Amino acid sequence: MVDKTTISMITELSDHISISKICKILGISRSTYYRHLNDVDSFELSDLESLIKSECIKTKFRYGYRKIYHQIKNEIHCSINQVRRIMCTRGWGCKVKPKRLNRPGNPYKTFGNIINGDWSTHQPMTKLTTDITYLPFGTDMLYLSSILDGFNNEIIAYKISDHPDENLAMDTLKQLHELPEDVILHSDQGSTYTSINFCDLCREKGITRSMSRKGTPSDNALIESFHSSLKSETFYTLNEPISSNTIVIEMVEEYIKFWNEERILKKLGYQSPVEYRHLITQ
């Protein structure tokens, strides 16, 4: 019979010996171990496990073990490896972000890659990036256009539409006012961003253009990563289909607010984009 003591011992030893090897020595199968381990009703959670589970639920399983450790380390004595092991064995890790397919587009007019992977800046609103992503989660296809500030990864403008055209991109850009003279806007080479009207609007706002190399989404990794996080931390965690586009829009708006005001980022010293901006600019 496999009891709580046996399961706890296997879990503790798993940092040094593979679970398969331990189970073989004890004469039990790995499936038996995991079945008992994941049966929450069979064993009481330790104080550390309860705190980790509570934090994971609070953040809707959007954080990996490093961020969860950062959130709880001042409340209970633990190591980052303990948090990693518990989240791994309990299945409490963040959802895996699916890879995005390249969509290089057919550019009409292009600009050089001024950013060239360097998003470092000491001032807000100097290095911006924009993109449009698909939202195939409601009754009809929707599209989200976003503009992200490379200073702190804050979403400073966005709009949702049922058409991924230049009007969507322009309406998003029109939300920005009183831009500094040295602002750079980076995008891909899609025809949306190379249209005459979009280029004219950028010139009117005094914006310097920068573009990714053709078919190279990694050049625009900041906004690509945000859109990936939005989908994986909201829509990909659902078990039931969404009944209306209105719900999709509400979920996107809620997530953007969460991203800006609450979601901590390692690159910002485990602060949210808004917290970081206030700290640096006050």
CATH numbers and ranges of domains, the chain: 4-90 (no CATH), 127-281 (3.30.420.10)
Q: How far is CA 240 from CA 28, 137, 190, 236, in A?
A: 36, 11, 33, 10
Asked whether the predicted pLDDT for residue 105 surpasses 60, the reply is: no
CA–CA separation, 217 and 188 (whole Å): 7
Ranking 2-16, 123-137, 221-235 by mean pLDDT, the lowest is 2-16
Look at residue 5 in the predicted model and tell me its pLDDT: 66
pLDDT band at 271 (very low <50, low <70, confident <90, very high): very high
* Cβ-contact 38, 91 below 8 angstroms: yes
* 169 or 191, higher pLDDT: 169
DSSP 134-200: EETTSSS-EEEEEEEETTTTEEEEEEEES--SHHHHHHHHTT--S--TT-EEEE-S-HHHHSHHHHH
Look at residue 277 in the predicted model and tell me its pLDDT: 95
Percent of the chain at pLDDT exceeding 90: 54
Look at residue 46 in the predicted model and tell me its pLDDT: 86
Asked whether the predicted pLDDT for residue 103 surpasses 60, the reply is: no
Percent of the chain at pLDDT exceeding 70: 86
Asked whether the predicted pLDDT for residue 181 surpasses 70, the reply is: yes
CA–CA separation, 143 and 95 (whole Å): 22
Asked whether the predicted pLDDT for residue 126 surpasses 90, the reply is: yes
Per residue in 82-96, pLDDT (tens digit) is: 998 888 777 777 654
240-268 mean pLDDT? 93
Residue 159: both structure tokens together:
């709009």
Asked whether the predicted pLDDT for residue 218 surpasses 50, the reply is: yes
208-220 mean pLDDT? 88
Ranking 141-150, 234-243, 246-255 by mean pLDDT, the lowest is 234-243
Per residue in 21-80, pLDDT (tens digit) is: 777 777 777 767 766 665 544 457 788 988 998 888 888 778 888 899 999 999 999 999
Look at residue 15 in the predicted model and tell me its pLDDT: 62
Asked whether the predicted pLDDT for residue 157 surpasses 60, the reply is: yes
Residue 270: both structure tokens together:
């485990």
> HSE on the CB side for 216, CA within 13 Å?
9
* 61 or 201, higher pLDDT: 201
Asked whether the predicted pLDDT for residue 99 surpasses 60, the reply is: no
Look at residue 37 in the predicted model and tell me its pLDDT: 64
